[in-house]
Amino acid sequence: MNATRHPRIAVVGAGPGGLVCARVLQRHGRPVTVFEREASAGARPQGGSLDMHGGTGQAALRAAGLLDGFRALSRPESQEWRLLDPATAAVLPAQGPPDDHGEEDRPEIDRGQLRDLLLDSLTAGSVRWDRAVSGVTPLGDGTGRLLFADGTTEDFDLVIGADGAWSRVRPALSDAVPGYTGITFIEAGFDDCDTRHPDLARMVGAGTMVAGADSKVLFAQRNSNDHIRVYIGFRGPEDWQVAAGVELGDTAAVRAHLLTMFNGWDERLLALLRDNDGAFIPRPLFALPVPPTWEHVPGVTLLGDAAHLMPPLGLGANLAMLDGAELARALVTEPGVDDAVRAYESVMLPRSAEAAKGCAEGLAHLLPPTGA
């Protein structure tokens, strides 16, 4: 890199991948600015639990110097994977999660805890909150111009799009847009589960419980603070509620529809639909076309879901973090910014293509199309 001036690097998005990238750069004395549209770190809940894989997420945390901090927060006991028969709720033999690739060390951590660990590791002021990006313009000289929602601009030697499924950076590289997979998850939750829902807590166990049949699935996942998060999955149109004649905000109507949909399942599993605390939250699943690819554009690149959005089978956050660590390492070790980005993309894109193909196949196996 230029000996007299470190490159100006912008990371768009303060998710796990972008924050790992920023942290690894800062560990090597490289300045970086993270732009995040959320107003603050606590502006919204960060979602459920993540299992950190040894060869991806944990490798990234090691590069960031945060593996010990992760270990202190993680829940090794939550690696447990329990498969239940939908008709009887009996525990069935299970080899583990569909994406485990034989990995035995995959401790869980809540997304919010992981994000706080990464944020706390950064130099104060590294993240500019409430700075929504509306687009990026490559300037033709190897740099990129960030356009913000308030109409202002800033120029950088490299803009890294780590801004998720609906990335505002991606259009500078690719016209690919996420497509609906034909599958919707609906999220529900249970608070104080060991005290208020002890039967359900025993059924779920210490980790993840899954039951599936006839293109429907129930996931129940232990989180920290005695919380269980449930995902109710099924095949159907993105606007399934229109055909069902229910309003998404009408919890009772959604519950009645789901109970009809899962009619015949064991009553202990149906308690996941009957007794949840709060509303049902729709989570339609989207994915980018496979393989993810683009022509290299100097001054701009992508990582994580912005680069390779795939079905949520445990790989997304892990790959995003590995992307971030590897891109940062390339920026430190390669002779120039463009050399670093080319080196990173040459490894990341084929790896992502293989992972996305596997996730698509895994989702089809978990929720096979009707008649398959």
CA-CA distance, 209 to 84, in Å (whole number)? 7
What local confidence, expressed as pLDDT, does residue 253 receive? 96
What local confidence, expressed as pLDDT, does residue 371 receive? 56
What one-letter code names the amino acid at 243?
A: A
Contacts of 343 (CB under 8 A, 6+ apart): 330, 334
Instruction: Kindly list the structural domains of the chain, giving each domain's residue range(s) and its CATH number in brackets, ordered by start.
Output: 9-76+102-178+289-366 (3.50.50.60), 180-286 (3.30.9.30)
What local confidence, expressed as pLDDT, does residue 34 receive? 98
Q: Please, are residues 26 and 293 in contact by the beta-carbon 8 Å criterion?
A: no
Give every residue of the chain whose pLDDT is below 50, as ranges.
1-3, 100-101
The DSSP string of 70-137 is: HHHH-BGGGG-EEEE-TTT--EE---S-TT-TT-----EEEHHHHHHHHHHHSPTT-EETT--EEEEE
What local confidence, expressed as pLDDT, does residue 2 receive? 45
Per-residue tokens: 108: 């869980």
The DSSP string of 194-236 is: HHH-HHHHHHH-SSEEEEEETTEEEEEEEETTTEEEEEEEEE-
What b/e sequence results for 327-342 when a residue is b if at least 16 CB atoms lie within 10 Å of its CB, and e otherwise?
bbbbbeebeebbebbe
CA-CA distance, 209 to 203, in Å (whole number)? 8
pTM above 0.85, yes or no: yes
Per-residue tokens: 365: 């196996």
Q: What is the DSSP letter of 171?
A: G
CA-CA distance, 74 to 97, in Å (whole number)? 18
Task: Round to the nearest angstrom and report the end-to-end CA distance of the chain.
Answer: 54
C-alpha pair distances (Å), 179 with each of 284, 287, 310, 357: 10, 6, 10, 15
Residue range 322-358, pLDDT digits in tens:
999 999 999 999 999 999 999 999 999 999 999 999 9
What local confidence, expressed as pLDDT, does residue 1 receive? 45
Contacts of 230 (CB under 8 A, 6+ apart): 187, 188, 189, 190, 218, 219, 220, 221, 272, 276
